[in-house]
Chain A
Amino acid sequence: MDSQIKGVSTGTTILAVTFNGGVIIGSDSRASIGGSYVSSKTINKLIQVHDRIFCCIAGSLADAQAVTKAAKFQISFHSIQMESPPLVKAAASVLKELCYNNKEELQAGFITAGWDRKKGPQVYTVALGGMLLSQPFTIGGSGSTYIYGYADAKYKPDMSKEECLQFATNALALAMGRDNVSGGVAHLVVITEEGVEHMVIPGDKLPKFHDE
């Protein structure tokens, strides 16, 4: 599906996983044109849309940037009106509206993850046509195909932060190892009530598996 995207695409691997007390959102860092030219090795696909809410993008980079820019504006306006930090669900709904109303023109899918006072850590997926779904964890992008089996086998509810970091890092490393349009470094953001922590794991520090 990604090979039909014209222009720069984030053929990619993105994921978001809840753990006990927070959520981790992660992605690779490769942007490619036509699946054969890597136009950026170090792009950050984790966009902060509010203090404790991030989203990550898969699909056409131009579409994704346009949508997140509009979403960021709408979410901060909404939060000023409500005089409180936005709910993660509200942020995800803003993205969903944009995707659904423009479904003919857009080719991008989103994962929204964050923490709010009402429900704690949450993960939402907005699929290509505009469907909104809440899940304990989710994976997306072209590289995600290769790690469905791994994620199904290894995810456990209520993990600790360290276990969750290991799970997310392993999943990204495995996907980057098999998908030729995912690669570069792994970006990880840990969101909890206390704050936001951004980690970058360079290619050579990623976990290695049996044939590497």
Chain B
Amino acid sequence: MLEESSEPGWLSEEVKTGTTIIAIEFDGGVVLGSDSRVSAGETVVNRVMNKLSLLHDKIYCALSGSAADAQTIAEMVNYQLDVHSIEVGEDPQVRSAATLVKNISYKYKEELSAHLIVAGWDKRAGGQVYVTLNGLLSRQPFAVGGSGSSYVYGFVDAEYRKAMSKEDCQQFVVNTLSLAMGRDGSSGGVAYLVTIDEKGAEEKCILGNELPTFYDQ
């Protein structure tokens, strides 16, 4: 598409985190992963954005869709969770965080276009992953989202096994992100990983050249 435009795309296009996000449960916690590309039309406006946002000490969410919408939802829920955890006097449940995200997504369904995957650990139910697409709330053993996720549905369907260990889950997430980033023009950059268990949340960043490579790369 060769258009003679004197104005760069990022001045007029909406900023989207066209992206790949993934979260998976293991016995004792969860692993969340995301790429780091933020695009405005054809321009990459941020190549190192961390799309894994903290909602509480042991609850994170992964952002996709419109960058502004997703960040706003995450900030609102962060605030609401702080208030809620003071009221109940203990750490909030992952389900509570997911419900707060779902409430906003559903109520403002027409205005917002963001999908957040909520994942974390709490002492009642251990590691949990919730999807909140379009305002539904559903717990799943693992979830993928964002534009890059289409390309890896086949891979995750084939490779997922129940009862994987923490290291297997981390490898699974990294492989999936690498494959999606290889095919989706809106996903790329580095891979961010967050592993949450009883002890807390551990963040990790894997640079582009350290990602696993597959055939023809």
Contacts and interface: CB of A to CB of B under 8 A. Distances in A.
Interface string A81-120: 0000000000000000000000000000000000000000
B160 A174 contact: no
Residue with the greatest number of chain A CB neighbours at <10 A, chosen from B154, B155, B157: B154
B179 A174 contact: no
A162 interface: no
Interface of A is mostly: helix
A60 to B, nearest CB: 22
A156 B157 contact: no
Interface stretch (B71-79, B99-107, B145-153): B145-153
Given A171-B154, A174-B154, A178-B157, A149 B180 contact: yes
Contact of A170 (B158, B176, B180, B182): B158
Interface size grouping (class) on chain B: 20 to 34
Interface residues of A, number: 22
Given A145-B150, A148-B151, A211 B157 contact: yes
Contacts of B47: none
A171 B153 CA distance: 11
A146 B215 contact: no
Interface in B174-198: 175-176, 179-180, 182-183
Contact of B153 (A155, A156, A170, A174): A174
B151 A145 contact: yes
Contact of B176 (A149, A157, A174, A210): A149
A149 B215 contact: no
Interface of B is mostly: helix
Contacts of A211: 157
Contacts of B124: none
A147 to B, nearest CB: 4
B179 A210 contact: no
Contacts of A146: 150-151, 153-154
Nearest to B184: A148
Interface in A174-205: 174-175, 177-178
Contacts of A156: 215
B157 A209 contact: yes
A1 to B, nearest CB: 13
A174 B157 contact: yes
A145 B159 CA distance: 17
Nearest to B157: A209
B199 interface: no
Interface in A113-149: 145-149
Given A149-B183, A152-B179, A178 B158 contact: no
Given A155-B215, A156-B215, A150 B154 contact: yes
A153 interface: yes
B183 A210 contact: no
Contacts of B155: 147, 149-150, 152-153
Residue with the greatest number of chain B CB neighbours at <10 A, chosen from A152, A155, A209: A152
Nearest to A170: B158
Task: Please list the 8 inter-chain residue pairs (A to B) with the smallest Cβ-Cβ separation, ordered nearest first.
Answer: A149-B152, A147-B154, A149-B155, A150-B154, A174-B154, A149-B179, A148-B151, A146-B153
5 contacts: A147-B153, A148-B183, A149-B151, A149-B155, A209-B158
Given A150-B152, A150-B155, A153-B159, 8 more contacts: A149-B154, A149-B176, A150-B154, A152-B155, A178-B154, A209-B157, A209-B160, A211-B157
